[in-house]
Chains A and B, each alone.
Chain A
Amino acid sequence: MEKRTLYDKIWDDHFVTSRDDGSDLMYIDRHLVHEVTSPQAFDGLRENNLKPRRVSSILATPDHNVPTTSRDNNLDGIKDPISKLQVTTLDENCNEFGINQFKLDDMRQGIVHVIGPEQGLTLPGMTIVCGDSHTSTHGAFGSLAMGIGTSEVEHVLATQCLVTKKQKNMLINIEGAIENGVTAKDITMFIIGRIGTAGGTGHVIEYSGEAIRSLSMEGRMTLCNMAIEAGARAGMVAPDEKTFAYVKNRPMAPKGDLFDKAVNYWKSLPSDEGAKFDAIFNFKSEDILPQVTWGTSPEMVVSIEDEIPHTSDKNILSALNYMGLKPGTKIKEIELDQIFIGSCTNSRIEDLRVASEILKDNKISKRIKRAIVVPGSGLVKKQAEDEGLDKIFIDAGFEWRDAGCSMCLGMNPDQLNQLERCASTSNRNFEGRQGYKGRTHLVSPAMAALASLEGKFSDIRDL
């Protein structure tokens, strides 16, 4: 029999038909919806007298525009009327079409890419889409998960299919155990540094090797989350016992015999020995040190031991000009104004545990004007509070917030002031991403927590 990759298998099991114009229809199992990229899609349905084809495949939640300071006033807590309209528009669309929504006042509300896995909505072998490029996160479960545009959101709502063509297979293999203090975030940033932000364009990335297998499910989500920053719409990790254990007993996961039947199928998904990949990269764990970005693209990244490279490239010089940095500056010399722990990359319970461990019995540096921690969902927040993590953060000088995308992109009031420099656990260091003229350095939660204590970047391995 033909040897197939994990992606090949999921593709084959979701291929509906080829249209006569040469494109293919791929069936979509799950569709996550949020307030920013869906209003125009629902308008399109109404204009054409269409309805969502399979409402049970959809879960909606507001996450980008929501305030993180307090939920006491529910929708009235959204001060910006334009943001509020977007959130109430989602409410109206979900009501009109009978779509399940975790509303702002629901304990289960949170970042779409946190709540999907948390609820057991995300399962191995599935096709999952969302009008958000970080949908790649769900690939951690061995699913094919892709960000799509709003036109595609409308198309999936109406047809339960995506018009697509098969992409190429890429394997990124990392052998050897990762060093203590090095995390999934460092691995994924290291990969982007090596293959570039267009390295994975046109490919689905499968991550493999000892370093990947040893990651927790949270770690694998962080890893796959940033596949899009390497240019790939989807990144994935083959499902294994860790995956099944994580999924078991989640509210929306199959139960009893059906769960066993599903596991049986899921076990057939990992790439066959000898399956063909169009591109293969091999990296060694020992080369991966804690990473820090210094520019305005995720590929502008070095290790904590390094300095900003010398260059004559005008794109890089323009990035450094924006960042207020110079070639040759040591990463450990960069002083910070703000700290952000959160986002669909790093706002899960494990991330908060790691950061709080470093902050315990410590105070953030006087240099730091503000440090905030934004749990990925209401349930992550509750669990952290049950474990007493909120107290550790607050005692150290952090603000303990409510769930949402927050300062990853600052569509809500959580933003950097002009020229402020932030150590952030998010995924993009683009110009203006966290606030107009704000400066972002991407790091792991451990590195962000340590930076909050020192007021500048330090090596987590020295702790």
Chain B
Amino acid sequence: MAQISNTYSGKIVCLDKANVDTDQIIPKQFLKSIKKTGLGPFLFDSWRYEDEGYLGKEESKRTLKNDFILNNKAFSNANILIAKENFGCGSSREHAVWALKDFGITTVIAPSFGDIFFNNCFKNGILAIQISKSNLEKIFSKQSETKPLEISVDLVNQKIFYEKLFEENFEIDPYRKKCLIEGLDEIGYSLKYEDEINKFEQKLRKERSWVIND
């Protein structure tokens, strides 16, 4: 799993929409890819371009929608995405996270997330942070059209802060934090418990043998 710095600052881009589903983050035609990479150009495809995208379509030949925030040049190197309630709801497609990552997003901050998307973020080294609505409103009220704000994240002490505007502690599961900081191989980590898995399976074969159908 990808590692993330203990503390970092990043330029933010605010997406002023609630219930953004993963179909919007990466539409279905891009799920045909058998790779994890190369999805960045198609992030929010229907909202970003005037034309319908498909895998392999050249970005230079497409027309950008002027009113979409990610197309504002001031935000072209933003790496922290700020969103509203229930971000990433819907489909389990991990392609949504792969697209965000490929685009350069390292952190997603929202008041709440879809469960599967939230989980998928951490599996790919993206930090998803739940923020209070009041501080979210502060960020939205301060954002400018021309100059992106910078927010600092202190993963070790679980804090995000923006100059004097606010400082907020966030919750993160200890295992997710450890994975992000140490860049752990999750499968390797679980396989340390192979003895326990074997024991469980033996018990299962005895007590509920219909489950093991080999």
Contacts and interface: CB of A to CB of B under 8 A. Distances in A.
A201 interface: yes
Given A231-B115, A297-B21, A315-B19, A411 B92 contact: no
B190 A21 contact: no
Contacts, number: 194
B175 A82 contact: no
A27 B204 contact: yes
A83 B19 CA distance: 29
Interface string B180-214: 00000111111111101100110010001111111
Interface residues of A, number: 81
Contact of A159 (B55, B197, B208): B197
A152 B46 contact: no
A105 B178 CA distance: 46
A334 B66 CA distance: 32
Interface residues of B, number: 63
Contacts of A17: 193, 196, 200
Contacts of A40: 34-36, 94
A5 interface: no
A21 B184 CA distance: 11
B98 to A, nearest CB: 8
B14 interface: no
Nearest to A30: B211
Interface stretch (B23-31, B75-83, B143-151, B161-169): B23-31
B105 interface: no
A163 B190 CA distance: 8
A436 B52 contact: yes
Contacts of A83: 32
Contacts of A67: none
Among A19, A299, A318, max chain B CB count under 10 A is at A19
5 contacts: A21-B175, A22-B174, A44-B187, A82-B55, A155-B190
Interface of A: 13, 16-17, 19, 21-23, 25, 27, 29, 36-37, 39-40, 43-44, 48, 50, 53-57, 64-65, 80, 82-83, 85-86, 89, 123, 125-126, 131-133, 147-152, 154-155, 158-161, 163, 165, 197-198, 201-202, 228-229, 231-233, 252-254, 258-259, 261-262, 265, 297, 299, 315, 318, 409-411, 428, 430-433, 436
